[in-house]
Amino acid sequence: MAIRTIIQDPHPTLRQVATPVRAFNDPKLHRLIQDMKETMVANDGWGLAAPQVNESTALFVILDDIAPEGHTVFINPRICKTSKEKESEDEGCLSFTGKYAPVARPSRVEIEAQDADGNTFRATGEGVLARAFLHETDHLHGILFIDHLHEF
């Protein structure tokens, strides 16, 4: 597999709405997933969305250390429920090297997604995992963490 280049803001792919995945038996999809995992780890990330490697595809990966129930790949994700309680933490992004700012996000999130084989699953995240779910899902809608800064 390969470590890919992470594109930086203001690259136009970061502002596109990602295309849903329809073909789960595509070798290109599985290669992309493996490349993204390697790229995320090589760059000390907790999560990485496909648009960040210039692929407008609705998928993101999460670091094994924070992944829920062994799920590290989230394809066609949908946020189902968020808590009313919010936490404000410094947030960064691999597409904004070295930049961090406080972002308020719900402290608990329920997400529905598909795995690499197309099986649907649900997962719940709290704290850093909830933040990762929201941050990476935002990427798939062309939303960047800096877009949340006006909330302060």
Name the strand (E) or helix (H) holding 136.
Answer: helix 128-139
Structure tokens that stand for 22 in this block: 């329809």
Is 136 one of the annotated active-site residues of the chain?
A: yes
Distance CA 94, CA 71 (A): 21
CA pair distance 31, 21, nearest whole angstrom: 14
Chain centroid to Cα 69, Å, comes to 17
Choose the catalytic residue: 55, 87, 91, 136.
136
CA 114 to chain centre: 13
- Tokens 């999809």, residue? 29
Residues that are catalytic: 136
